[in-house]
């Protein structure tokens, strides 16, 4: 079908539809009412009809626009949720595994070795003792031991160096408290009490690998040929 034939067919259908509308009863009633109106009412009716038709025509693209806006908002919300999940997954995979903390006796030995390496005088080391299994910062069920290290007559450099060394014994050992007071005999030095807490880190479960079964072994046994089989 050519373009001219399509135009003629469309024009014919439009004219037939127009004739059917003009012949309908409701159209004739509306036309009679329109002709009986005053000129002002006729203008108002024309403006109202044009506005109604325009509203109907514009409502179609507006509905599509509103639906597309809703779809875009849903897509952006799901995309944001997926990004947050990927971020949490990436951060959780980057968290290092915390090794189990040394037991209180081993921790005491490590601290005493550090104090000996610092060449402290006997009068400066007041002792290392275990205190209540708990801390104001860490719940009791998350600790396996608390040690207090009491030292005397330390200068500021010694306080910083010893505190740094004890805080880096293990990732599972935390310094939760540091109390410094001026020494009574010489105010240039400090009496210090370090509180070290060993975290109760659970050990990772050991997964036992199942032995690999070789095909054709274990189930096939060779039979010794009997006299009847020969």
Give the model confidence (pLDDT) of 145-169 as tens digits.
788 899 999 999 999 999 999 888 8
Which positions ≥6 away from 171 have C-beta within 8 Å?
Answer: 96, 98, 99
Superfamily of domain 104-199: Ribosomal protein S6/Translation elongation factor EF1B (3.30.70.60)
| E strands, the chain, in order | 125-131, 143-154, 173-182, 190-199
Tell me the C-alpha distance between 133 and 198, whole Å. 10
Backbone φ/ψ region at 218: left (φ over 0), alpha (ψ -120 to 50), beta: left
Q: What is the pLDDT of residue 25?
A: 78
* Strands 173-182 and 125-131, sheet pairing: unpaired
Tell me the C-alpha distance between 129 and 126, whole Å. 10
Residue boundaries of the structural domains of the chain? 9-95, 104-199
- Secondary structure letter of residue 207 according to DSSP: P
Which residues in the chain show pLDDT less than 70?
Answer: 1, 94-98, 133-137, 139, 202-230
Which tokens hold the place of 4?
A: 């001219």
pLDDT digits (tens, 9 = 90+) for 38-69: 788 777 877 877 888 788 888 888 888 888 88
Q: What is the pLDDT of residue 222?
A: 45
> Residue holding tokens 């639906």?
67
| E strands, 31-124, in order | none
């Amino acid at each position: 079908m050519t373009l001219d034939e399509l135009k003629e067919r469309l024009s014919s259908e439009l004219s037939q539809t127009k004739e059917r509308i003009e012949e309908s009863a409701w159209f004739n009633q509306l036309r009679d009412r329109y002709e009986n109106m005053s000129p002002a009412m006729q203008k108002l009716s024309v403006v109202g009809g044009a506005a109604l038709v325009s509203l109907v025509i514009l409502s179609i693209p507006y509905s599509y626009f509103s639906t597309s806006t809703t779809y875009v908002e849903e897509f952006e919300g799901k995309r944001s949720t997926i990004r947050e999940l990927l971020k949490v997954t990436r951060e959780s995979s980057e968290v290092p595994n915390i090794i189990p903390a040394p037991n209180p006796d081993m921790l005491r030995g490590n601290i005493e070795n550090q104090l000996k390496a610092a060449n402290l005088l006997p009068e400066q080391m007041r002792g290392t003792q275990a205190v209540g299994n708990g801390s104001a910062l860490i719940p009791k069920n998350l600790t396996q031991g608390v040690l207090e290290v009491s030292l005397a007559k330390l200068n500021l450099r010694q306080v910083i160096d010893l505190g740094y060394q004890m805080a880096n014994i293990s990732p599972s050992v935390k310094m939760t408290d540091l109390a410094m007071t001026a020494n009574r005999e010489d105010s240039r030095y400090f009496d210090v009490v370090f509180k070290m807490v060993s975290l109760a880190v659970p050990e990772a479960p050991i997964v036992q690998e199942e032995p690999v079964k070789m095909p054709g072994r274990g189930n096939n046994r060779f039979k010794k040929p009997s006299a009847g089989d020969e």
